[in-house]
Amino acid sequence: MNITESAIREIVNYVLLSVGYWGIFKKCGVKPYLSLVPFVREYNLSLCADREKDGRRLTIVSLALEALAVIILAQEENSDLVVFLSMFFLALVLTKIIYSTRVYFGLTKVFNRRKSWTWLFVFLELLTLLIWGWHPAFVPSKKVDDPSDLTEAKGLGEDVRGETDGLTVNINSRTVIDFFTKKTLLKDIHMIIPRGHMVLLLGGSGAGKTTFVNAVTGYEKADATINLGKDDVYNDYDKLMYDIGFVPQQDLMRGSDTVLATLSDAATLRLSSSVGLVKRRERIAEVLEQFGLSAVQYSLVDKLSGGQKKRLSIAMEFISDPTLFFLDEPDSGLDGVVARALFEKLRAIANEGKIVVVITHTPDRVIDLFDDVIVLAKDSSRTGRLAYYGPVKDSYEFFGKKSMEEILLSINQKDEGGEGRADEFVEKYVDKVREKVG
């Protein structure tokens, strides 16, 4: 067979495969034109099969195979290298077969067909795709959710303006491209947080809490305007980077260092180079005293209790005296008494005129220390939305619940064990804001 005949055969095979994919995609609710794009179509077939994770791996392996094939062809004069690379190529081929088989198996379940069809897909892929794509007897039991087709809760759709001394958040949207698909993680988040307030950030898994924090701190920019006082966080980031503190859930400290050395290193990183040595030492001593660490300043980090480690972790960020302070589960792993003492420290920080925003999975045991609560929820389009922002005491009446745990259950999706009322409260909150503004 000459090169022309081989090329024609490849083109015919590609076209027929595309026709098969096209039919299946139409049945599953996937955009049919994606059947024309190599690698993308394999991934979308995995969505039809409800095997998204396997589809990701299959796509990566397929891309690696193509890249390796090109490299092998380019090295054909080096026989030893070709043999070596061919071993990897064979391993990738076997891996591709495994993931393809898993996707096909998932397809048989979605289409309510016998498992034996899996082997027909493996050995007679073209014919099987055409049959499944165009024979009316093959119908999927469910379709792929297309975010653009899902009805989303109505939003405020306009920025809020307020006192310039606090934090003003106007997030229009935060989107990402995730494996050929554009996803909206957050949308229509508008609020003003005054200085001196300690705020609870509440939301279920996937509601956008981390995305919200990253957007507000400028770590990951969104389509948004974030103002701290009169300054724009995005445009004036170099100026504000030391005025915004973030304490992650995991303590980022070396166990072999002393408390004093750890805080001194933090001061070197977080304080401006214009701060002299004397002022720097004074600030370190002040923070050690403020967080109750003066007595253990020469102790190794590994020798500290859980509560002391957490206080040191917070002190490292607080060394620069930030106006805006975010903390991700600072009470993780702490018992009730120690956690309470830690939150009282945070309350004292807020009382100094700071803004403290906290994520915690056990808010009810310390809820009396918070001024406000931000409630984020996934609406019917799977987008993080603002379901409530305001005083803690008013939130109970708004949701008709008696605890933060009950509020969380009311907005969680039904498949997560919740009541699935996110859209209801997102729209109720929008109406409340508009009524207040009007």
Other CB atoms within 10 Å distance of the CB of residue 9: 11
User: Mean pLDDT over residues 353-366, rounded?
Assistant: 94
Residue 397's identity, in one-letter code, is E
CB-based contacts of 48, cutoff 8 Å, min separation 6? 24, 25, 27, 28, 30, 107, 110, 140, 144
In this structure, the chain runs to a length of: 438
Label each residue of 188-208 as H, E or C: EEEEEECCCCEEEEEECCCCC
Q: What is the pTM of this model?
A: 0.80
Report CA torsion sign: 229, 232, 236, 238.
Answer: positive
Task: Pick from 72-76, 149-153, 330-334 the range whose average pLDDT is largest.
Answer: 330-334
pLDDT of residue 150: 53
Q: What percentage of the chain carries pLDDT values higher than 90?
A: 66
pLDDT given for residue 255 in this prediction: 87
Lowest mean pLDDT among 122-126, 148-152, 272-276: 148-152
268-310 pLDDT tens trace: 888 877 788 889 899 999 999 988 999 999 999 999 998 899 8
Res 50 pLDDT > 90 = yes
Distance (Å, rounded) from C-alpha 18 to C-alpha 12?
10
- What's the CA gap between 311 and 305, in Å, rounded? 10
Q: Which tens digits make up the pLDDT trace of 212-256? A: 999 999 999 999 999 999 999 999 988 888 899 998 887 778 888
- Phi, psi (deg, nearest 5) at residue 184: -95, 115
Region 96-122: mean pLDDT is 95
Which fold would CATH assign to domain 167-243+322-437? Rossmann fold (3.40.50)
CB 129 within 8 A of CB 17: yes
CA distance 267 to 235: 25
Domain segments of the chain as ranges: 3-144, 167-243+322-437
Nearest to 422 by CA among 432, 413, 430: 413
Q: Could you give the CA distance from residue 27 to residue 43 in angstroms, rounded to a whole number?
A: 16
At 73 the pLDDT is 81
List pLDDT tens digits, range 413-435: 888 888 999 999 999 999 998 88
> Which residues, in sequence order, are CB contacts of 99 under 8 Å at separation 6+?
54, 55, 57, 58, 61
On the question of pLDDT at 149 being above 60, the answer is no
Predicted confidence at residue 181, as pLDDT, reads 77
- State mean pLDDT over 122-150: 86
What share of the chain in percent tops pLDDT 70? 96
